[in-house]
Structure 1
Amino acid sequence: MITIGGTGVMVLGVLAAGVLSTLLGMALRARVGTVTAVALAGLLWSLTAIAVATLVPTRAGVGIVPAETRSNSCSWDYGGPNGAAFEGLGLDQRTLNVLLFVPAGMFLVLAVGRWWSGVVLAPLGLALLAAYSVAVELLQLQLARIDRACDVTDMVDNILGAGVGFVIGVLLLPLTRPWRGRKPAH
Protein backbone atom coordinates (compact mmCIF):
# COMPACT_ATOMS: atom_id res chain seq x y z
CA MET A 1 0.00 0.00 0.00
CA ILE A 2 1.25 3.48 -0.88
CA THR A 3 0.78 6.10 1.79
CA ILE A 4 1.13 9.81 1.25
CA GLY A 5 1.51 12.36 3.97
CA GLY A 6 3.80 14.43 6.09
CA THR A 7 4.87 18.05 6.15
CA GLY A 8 6.95 17.72 2.97
CA VAL A 9 3.94 16.53 0.96
CA MET A 10 1.86 19.38 2.39
CA VAL A 11 4.49 21.96 1.43
CA LEU A 12 4.78 20.53 -2.09
CA GLY A 13 1.00 20.58 -2.47
CA VAL A 14 0.78 24.20 -1.33
CA LEU A 15 3.64 25.19 -3.67
CA ALA A 16 2.02 23.39 -6.63
CA ALA A 17 -1.26 25.16 -5.88
CA GLY A 18 0.67 28.44 -5.77
CA VAL A 19 2.15 27.87 -9.20
CA LEU A 20 -1.22 27.01 -10.74
CA SER A 21 -2.90 29.95 -9.01
CA THR A 22 -0.18 32.30 -10.25
CA LEU A 23 -0.78 31.12 -13.81
CA LEU A 24 -4.51 31.72 -13.37
CA GLY A 25 -3.82 35.21 -12.01
CA MET A 26 -1.61 36.02 -15.00
CA ALA A 27 -4.30 34.80 -17.38
CA LEU A 28 -7.00 36.91 -15.68
CA ARG A 29 -4.94 40.09 -15.31
CA ALA A 30 -5.87 41.68 -18.65
CA ARG A 31 -9.54 40.89 -18.13
CA VAL A 32 -10.10 42.01 -14.51
CA GLY A 33 -7.04 44.07 -13.59
CA THR A 34 -4.01 43.24 -11.50
CA VAL A 35 -5.54 43.59 -8.02
CA THR A 36 -8.58 41.44 -8.76
CA ALA A 37 -6.52 38.86 -10.66
CA VAL A 38 -4.08 38.55 -7.75
CA ALA A 39 -6.98 38.37 -5.29
CA LEU A 40 -8.81 35.66 -7.26
CA ALA A 41 -5.59 33.66 -7.64
CA GLY A 42 -4.82 34.19 -3.95
CA LEU A 43 -8.29 33.06 -2.93
CA LEU A 44 -7.98 29.89 -5.01
CA TRP A 45 -4.49 29.27 -3.61
CA SER A 46 -5.59 29.81 0.00
CA LEU A 47 -8.60 27.49 -0.32
CA THR A 48 -6.38 24.81 -1.84
CA ALA A 49 -3.70 25.34 0.83
CA ILE A 50 -6.35 24.92 3.53
CA ALA A 51 -7.49 21.63 1.99
CA VAL A 52 -3.92 20.35 1.64
CA ALA A 53 -2.89 21.38 5.16
CA THR A 54 -5.97 19.87 6.78
CA LEU A 55 -6.74 16.79 4.69
CA VAL A 56 -3.28 15.34 4.02
CA PRO A 57 -2.13 13.01 6.81
CA THR A 58 0.39 14.62 9.14
CA ARG A 59 2.79 11.72 8.70
CA ALA A 60 3.49 9.42 5.77
CA GLY A 61 3.08 6.06 7.49
CA VAL A 62 -0.49 6.49 8.75
CA GLY A 63 -1.84 3.55 6.75
CA ILE A 64 -5.35 2.47 7.69
CA VAL A 65 -6.89 3.62 10.94
CA PRO A 66 -9.30 0.86 12.04
CA ALA A 67 -12.93 1.94 12.34
CA GLU A 68 -13.03 0.76 15.97
CA THR A 69 -10.30 3.19 16.99
CA ARG A 70 -11.48 6.29 15.17
CA SER A 71 -13.84 8.81 16.66
CA ASN A 72 -17.51 8.71 15.70
CA SER A 73 -18.20 12.35 16.50
CA CYS A 74 -16.57 15.74 16.61
CA SER A 75 -14.93 16.84 19.83
CA TRP A 76 -17.00 19.52 21.56
CA ASP A 77 -14.27 20.09 24.16
CA TYR A 78 -13.66 23.75 23.34
CA GLY A 79 -10.03 24.67 23.73
CA GLY A 80 -9.02 21.02 23.76
CA PRO A 81 -5.40 19.97 23.51
CA ASN A 82 -3.22 22.71 22.11
CA GLY A 83 0.02 21.03 21.18
CA ALA A 84 2.88 22.56 19.27
CA ALA A 85 1.99 21.86 15.64
CA PHE A 86 5.10 23.32 14.04
CA GLU A 87 7.63 23.73 16.81
CA GLY A 88 10.18 25.19 14.42
CA LEU A 89 7.90 28.16 13.86
CA GLY A 90 7.12 28.55 17.55
CA LEU A 91 3.37 28.51 16.86
CA ASP A 92 0.76 26.33 18.50
CA GLN A 93 -2.07 24.57 16.68
CA ARG A 94 -4.73 27.15 17.56
CA THR A 95 -2.65 30.03 16.23
CA LEU A 96 -1.96 28.10 13.02
CA ASN A 97 -5.68 27.36 12.62
CA VAL A 98 -6.43 31.08 12.83
CA LEU A 99 -3.58 32.05 10.48
CA LEU A 100 -4.58 29.38 7.94
CA PHE A 101 -7.86 31.17 7.14
CA VAL A 102 -6.65 34.81 7.24
CA PRO A 103 -5.51 34.90 3.58
CA ALA A 104 -8.82 33.42 2.38
CA GLY A 105 -10.82 36.12 4.17
CA MET A 106 -8.57 38.88 2.89
CA PHE A 107 -8.41 37.67 -0.72
CA LEU A 108 -12.18 37.13 -0.71
CA VAL A 109 -12.86 40.80 0.01
CA LEU A 110 -10.28 42.00 -2.52
CA ALA A 111 -11.61 39.57 -5.17
CA VAL A 112 -15.18 40.90 -5.00
CA GLY A 113 -14.24 44.47 -4.10
CA ARG A 114 -14.20 45.71 -7.70
CA TRP A 115 -17.97 45.27 -8.09
CA TRP A 116 -20.87 46.87 -6.21
CA SER A 117 -22.27 43.37 -5.76
CA GLY A 118 -19.25 42.78 -3.52
CA VAL A 119 -21.26 44.40 -0.73
CA VAL A 120 -23.42 41.27 -0.78
CA LEU A 121 -20.85 38.79 -2.09
CA ALA A 122 -18.23 39.47 0.59
CA PRO A 123 -20.45 38.62 3.60
CA LEU A 124 -21.89 35.66 1.69
CA GLY A 125 -18.34 34.52 0.94
CA LEU A 126 -17.44 34.84 4.63
CA ALA A 127 -20.37 32.56 5.48
CA LEU A 128 -19.12 30.13 2.82
CA LEU A 129 -15.63 30.20 4.38
CA ALA A 130 -17.25 29.25 7.71
CA ALA A 131 -19.07 26.41 5.94
CA TYR A 132 -15.78 25.36 4.32
CA SER A 133 -14.20 25.07 7.77
CA VAL A 134 -17.09 22.93 9.00
CA ALA A 135 -16.88 20.77 5.85
CA VAL A 136 -13.14 20.22 6.37
CA GLU A 137 -13.71 19.13 9.97
CA LEU A 138 -16.53 16.78 8.96
CA LEU A 139 -14.31 15.30 6.24
CA GLN A 140 -11.60 14.74 8.83
CA LEU A 141 -14.17 12.82 10.88
CA GLN A 142 -15.32 10.69 7.95
CA LEU A 143 -11.92 9.97 6.40
CA ALA A 144 -10.49 7.77 9.11
CA ARG A 145 -7.48 6.91 6.95
CA ILE A 146 -5.99 10.40 7.29
CA ASP A 147 -5.77 10.11 11.10
CA ARG A 148 -7.17 13.59 11.75
CA ALA A 149 -9.74 14.67 14.32
CA CYS A 150 -12.90 16.74 13.99
CA ASP A 151 -12.80 19.50 16.59
CA VAL A 152 -15.13 22.43 17.29
CA THR A 153 -12.13 24.48 18.49
CA ASP A 154 -10.62 24.21 15.00
CA MET A 155 -13.88 25.44 13.46
CA VAL A 156 -14.02 28.46 15.77
CA ASP A 157 -10.34 29.28 15.17
CA ASN A 158 -10.74 28.93 11.39
CA ILE A 159 -13.80 31.18 11.34
CA LEU A 160 -11.98 33.72 13.52
CA GLY A 161 -9.09 33.68 11.04
CA ALA A 162 -11.46 34.22 8.10
CA GLY A 163 -13.04 37.13 9.99
CA VAL A 164 -9.66 38.71 10.72
CA GLY A 165 -8.71 38.33 7.05
CA PHE A 166 -12.06 39.85 6.04
CA VAL A 167 -11.35 42.94 8.15
CA ILE A 168 -7.83 43.20 6.71
CA GLY A 169 -9.32 42.96 3.20
CA VAL A 170 -11.82 45.74 3.96
CA LEU A 171 -8.98 47.92 5.27
CA LEU A 172 -6.92 47.21 2.13
CA LEU A 173 -9.73 48.09 -0.31
CA PRO A 174 -9.11 51.86 -0.28
CA LEU A 175 -5.38 51.25 -0.74
CA THR A 176 -5.62 48.70 -3.56
CA ARG A 177 -8.73 50.10 -5.31
CA PRO A 178 -9.57 46.97 -7.32
CA TRP A 179 -12.35 48.83 -9.14
CA ARG A 180 -9.73 50.91 -10.98
CA GLY A 181 -7.65 48.01 -12.28
CA ARG A 182 -8.91 47.60 -15.81
CA LYS A 183 -9.23 49.95 -18.71
CA PRO A 184 -12.61 49.96 -20.45
CA ALA A 185 -12.85 48.24 -23.84
CA HIS A 186 -12.92 50.55 -26.85
Structure 2
Amino acid sequence: MIEVGGAAVMVLGSAASGLVLALVGLVLARWLGPVTAFSLVGFVWALVVIGLVTLVPPTGSTTLVPAEARQPTCSRTVGGPAPDGFWIFSGTQRMLNTALFVPAGALLVLGLARWRTAWLLVPMGLAGLVGYSVLIEITQLELARIDRACDITDVVDNATGALIGCGIGLALALVLQPWRRRMREEARRDRTHPGLLG
Protein backbone atom coordinates (compact mmCIF):
# COMPACT_ATOMS: atom_id res chain seq x y z
CA MET A 1 0.00 0.00 0.00
CA ILE A 2 1.35 3.46 -0.95
CA GLU A 3 1.62 5.88 1.94
CA VAL A 4 0.65 9.46 1.21
CA GLY A 5 1.30 12.22 3.68
CA GLY A 6 3.94 13.90 5.75
CA ALA A 7 5.71 17.24 5.53
CA ALA A 8 7.10 16.59 2.04
CA VAL A 9 3.61 16.24 0.56
CA MET A 10 2.47 19.44 2.28
CA VAL A 11 5.49 21.41 1.04
CA LEU A 12 5.24 20.03 -2.50
CA GLY A 13 1.50 20.73 -2.65
CA SER A 14 2.00 24.24 -1.33
CA ALA A 15 4.78 24.98 -3.82
CA ALA A 16 2.91 23.59 -6.83
CA SER A 17 -0.33 25.41 -6.00
CA GLY A 18 1.61 28.60 -5.26
CA LEU A 19 3.27 28.49 -8.68
CA VAL A 20 -0.03 27.96 -10.51
CA LEU A 21 -1.76 30.71 -8.56
CA ALA A 22 1.14 33.13 -9.10
CA LEU A 23 0.61 32.71 -12.85
CA VAL A 24 -3.10 33.35 -12.40
CA GLY A 25 -2.21 36.47 -10.41
CA LEU A 26 -0.07 37.77 -13.26
CA VAL A 27 -3.01 37.44 -15.64
CA LEU A 28 -5.52 39.04 -13.24
CA ALA A 29 -3.16 41.93 -12.45
CA ARG A 30 -3.87 43.43 -15.87
CA TRP A 31 -7.52 43.98 -14.96
CA LEU A 32 -7.51 44.31 -11.19
CA GLY A 33 -4.09 45.77 -10.46
CA PRO A 34 -1.27 43.90 -8.72
CA VAL A 35 -2.38 44.51 -5.12
CA THR A 36 -5.91 43.16 -5.60
CA ALA A 37 -4.92 40.35 -7.98
CA PHE A 38 -2.13 38.93 -5.87
CA SER A 39 -4.12 39.39 -2.67
CA LEU A 40 -7.01 37.36 -4.10
CA VAL A 41 -4.83 34.54 -5.43
CA GLY A 42 -2.82 34.71 -2.19
CA PHE A 43 -6.06 34.22 -0.28
CA VAL A 44 -6.89 31.14 -2.36
CA TRP A 45 -3.35 29.85 -1.82
CA ALA A 46 -3.70 30.37 1.94
CA LEU A 47 -6.85 28.22 1.88
CA VAL A 48 -5.01 25.49 -0.03
CA VAL A 49 -2.12 25.55 2.44
CA ILE A 50 -4.53 25.40 5.39
CA GLY A 51 -6.20 22.37 3.80
CA LEU A 52 -2.86 20.64 3.24
CA VAL A 53 -1.59 21.32 6.76
CA THR A 54 -4.79 20.19 8.45
CA LEU A 55 -5.98 17.31 6.25
CA VAL A 56 -2.87 15.57 4.93
CA PRO A 57 -1.83 12.73 7.26
CA PRO A 58 1.04 14.03 9.39
CA THR A 59 3.29 11.00 8.99
CA GLY A 60 2.22 9.45 5.70
CA SER A 61 0.56 6.62 7.61
CA THR A 62 -2.40 4.85 6.02
CA THR A 63 -3.20 2.75 9.08
CA LEU A 64 -6.93 2.22 9.33
CA VAL A 65 -8.34 3.35 12.67
CA PRO A 66 -10.71 0.67 14.05
CA ALA A 67 -14.31 1.77 14.56
CA GLU A 68 -14.09 1.27 18.33
CA ALA A 69 -10.97 3.47 18.54
CA ARG A 70 -12.42 6.23 16.39
CA GLN A 71 -13.16 9.56 18.04
CA PRO A 72 -17.00 9.62 18.33
CA THR A 73 -17.44 13.41 18.62
CA CYS A 74 -15.41 16.59 18.49
CA SER A 75 -13.64 17.44 21.71
CA ARG A 76 -15.22 20.36 23.56
CA THR A 77 -12.48 20.54 26.17
CA VAL A 78 -10.35 23.67 26.07
CA GLY A 79 -7.08 22.58 24.53
CA GLY A 80 -8.74 19.46 23.16
CA PRO A 81 -7.09 16.12 22.37
CA ALA A 82 -4.23 17.64 20.36
CA PRO A 83 -0.73 17.56 21.88
CA ASP A 84 0.73 20.71 23.37
CA GLY A 85 3.44 20.85 20.72
CA PHE A 86 3.21 20.42 16.96
CA TRP A 87 5.12 17.83 14.95
CA ILE A 88 6.97 20.34 12.72
CA PHE A 89 7.17 23.59 14.65
CA SER A 90 7.90 24.42 18.24
CA GLY A 91 5.31 26.29 20.24
CA THR A 92 1.83 25.43 21.35
CA GLN A 93 -0.79 23.88 19.11
CA ARG A 94 -3.24 26.70 19.81
CA MET A 95 -0.75 29.40 18.79
CA LEU A 96 -0.07 27.61 15.52
CA ASN A 97 -3.78 27.10 14.83
CA THR A 98 -4.26 30.83 15.31
CA ALA A 99 -1.26 31.81 13.15
CA LEU A 100 -2.39 29.47 10.35
CA PHE A 101 -5.46 31.63 9.60
CA VAL A 102 -3.82 35.07 9.93
CA PRO A 103 -2.61 35.30 6.28
CA ALA A 104 -6.04 34.29 4.96
CA GLY A 105 -7.74 37.02 6.99
CA ALA A 106 -5.25 39.69 5.91
CA LEU A 107 -5.36 38.73 2.21
CA LEU A 108 -9.17 38.57 2.32
CA VAL A 109 -9.41 42.23 3.36
CA LEU A 110 -6.66 43.38 1.03
CA GLY A 111 -8.19 41.50 -1.90
CA LEU A 112 -11.68 42.92 -1.37
CA ALA A 113 -10.70 46.48 -0.42
CA ARG A 114 -10.81 47.57 -4.07
CA TRP A 115 -14.62 47.39 -4.24
CA ARG A 116 -17.21 49.63 -2.64
CA THR A 117 -19.01 46.59 -1.23
CA ALA A 118 -15.96 45.53 0.81
CA TRP A 119 -17.79 46.54 4.02
CA LEU A 120 -20.28 43.74 3.27
CA LEU A 121 -17.97 41.22 1.56
CA VAL A 122 -15.31 41.18 4.29
CA PRO A 123 -17.65 40.07 7.13
CA MET A 124 -19.12 37.45 4.77
CA GLY A 125 -15.60 36.26 3.94
CA LEU A 126 -14.69 36.13 7.63
CA ALA A 127 -17.78 34.00 8.29
CA GLY A 128 -16.68 31.81 5.37
CA LEU A 129 -13.26 31.30 6.98
CA VAL A 130 -14.93 30.20 10.21
CA GLY A 131 -17.12 27.86 8.17
CA TYR A 132 -14.00 26.49 6.46
CA SER A 133 -12.49 25.76 9.88
CA VAL A 134 -15.67 23.96 10.96
CA LEU A 135 -15.63 21.92 7.73
CA ILE A 136 -12.01 20.91 8.37
CA GLU A 137 -12.86 19.74 11.90
CA ILE A 138 -15.84 17.74 10.62
CA THR A 139 -13.63 16.17 7.95
CA GLN A 140 -11.02 15.28 10.59
CA LEU A 141 -13.74 13.62 12.65
CA GLU A 142 -15.24 11.66 9.76
CA LEU A 143 -11.93 10.61 8.19
CA ALA A 144 -10.29 9.01 11.20
CA ARG A 145 -7.83 7.41 8.81
CA ILE A 146 -5.90 10.70 8.37
CA ASP A 147 -4.87 10.55 12.03
CA ARG A 148 -6.21 13.98 13.03
CA ALA A 149 -8.26 15.03 16.03
CA CYS A 150 -11.49 17.03 15.82
CA ASP A 151 -11.44 19.81 18.37
CA ILE A 152 -13.89 22.70 18.78
CA THR A 153 -11.03 24.72 20.32
CA ASP A 154 -9.34 24.72 16.91
CA VAL A 155 -12.32 26.58 15.44
CA VAL A 156 -12.02 29.26 18.12
CA ASP A 157 -8.28 29.60 17.50
CA ASN A 158 -8.72 29.65 13.71
CA ALA A 159 -11.43 32.31 13.96
CA THR A 160 -9.18 34.38 16.24
CA GLY A 161 -6.37 34.13 13.68
CA ALA A 162 -8.68 35.16 10.85
CA LEU A 163 -9.91 38.16 12.87
CA ILE A 164 -6.34 39.24 13.66
CA GLY A 165 -5.52 38.84 9.97
CA CYS A 166 -8.46 41.07 9.03
CA GLY A 167 -7.07 43.78 11.28
CA ILE A 168 -3.66 43.47 9.61
CA GLY A 169 -5.31 43.50 6.19
CA LEU A 170 -7.20 46.69 7.05
CA ALA A 171 -3.95 48.40 8.06
CA LEU A 172 -2.27 47.24 4.83
CA ALA A 173 -5.26 48.41 2.76
CA LEU A 174 -5.02 51.89 4.27
CA VAL A 175 -1.36 52.02 3.27
CA LEU A 176 -1.63 50.43 -0.21
CA GLN A 177 -5.07 51.86 -1.09
CA PRO A 178 -6.04 49.33 -3.79
CA TRP A 179 -9.25 51.27 -4.47
CA ARG A 180 -7.25 54.04 -6.18
CA ARG A 181 -7.03 51.97 -9.37
CA ARG A 182 -10.83 51.58 -9.44
CA MET A 183 -11.29 55.30 -8.86
CA ARG A 184 -8.91 56.11 -11.72
CA GLU A 185 -10.81 53.74 -14.00
CA GLU A 186 -14.12 55.33 -13.04
CA ALA A 187 -12.73 58.82 -13.64
CA ARG A 188 -11.38 57.77 -17.05
CA ARG A 189 -14.74 56.21 -17.96
CA ASP A 190 -16.56 59.37 -16.88
CA ARG A 191 -14.32 61.50 -19.10
CA THR A 192 -14.78 59.16 -22.04
CA HIS A 193 -18.56 58.74 -21.62
CA PRO A 194 -19.81 61.78 -19.65
CA GLY A 195 -23.46 61.07 -20.49
CA LEU A 196 -23.52 57.68 -18.73
CA LEU A 197 -24.13 59.19 -15.30
CA GLY A 198 -26.95 61.44 -16.46
TM-score (structure 2 length as normaliser): 0.88
Q: Give the letter for the 2:85 counterpart.
A: A
Q: Give the letter for the 2:20 counterpart.
A: L
Query: Paired residue for 2:139?
Result: 139
Higher Rg of the two aligned structures: 2
Distance, in Å, in 2 between the alignment partners of 1:2 and 1:180 is: 52
CA drift of 1:82 comes to: 4.2
Matches within 5 A, 1:166-177: 166-177=166-177
Deviations 1:83-126 (A, max 9, x none): 21146x43221111011100100000011100011110001100
Change (3 A) 1:66 1:181: farther
Between 1:89-98 and 1:40-49, the stretch displaced more is 89-98
Distance, in Å, in 1 between the alignment partners of 2:34 and 2:126 is: 23
Query: Paired residue for 1:60?
Result: 60
Distance, in Å, in 2 between the alignment partners of 1:144 and 1:15 is: 27
Query: Paired residue for 1:84?
Result: 85
Distance, in Å, in 2 between the alignment partners of 1:126 and 1:82 is: 27
Cα root mean square deviation, aligned: 1.6
Identity of aligned residues (%): 47
Query: Paired residue for 2:34?
Result: 34
Q: What stretches of structure 2 of length at least 5 have no aligned partner?
A: 193-198
Secondary structure of 2:66's partner?
Answer: coil
Q: Give the letter for the 1:161 counterpart.
A: G
Higher relative contact order (CA 8 A, sep 6+): 1
Matches within 5 A, 1:8-157: 8-80=8-80, 81-86=82-87, 89-157=89-157
Secondary structure of 2:86's partner?
Answer: strand
Deviations 1:127-178 (A, max 9, x none): 1101110010000001111011100111111000000000101111111111
For the 8 Å contact 1:77–1:153, the answer to whether it is kept is yes
Secondary structure of 1:59's partner?
Answer: coil
For the 8 Å contact 1:36–1:111, the answer to whether it is kept is yes
Query: Paired residue for 2:196?
Result: none
Q: What stretches of structure 1 of length at least 5 have no aligned partner?
A: none
CA drift of 1:63 comes to: 2.5
Q: Give the letter for the 2:120 counterpart.
A: V
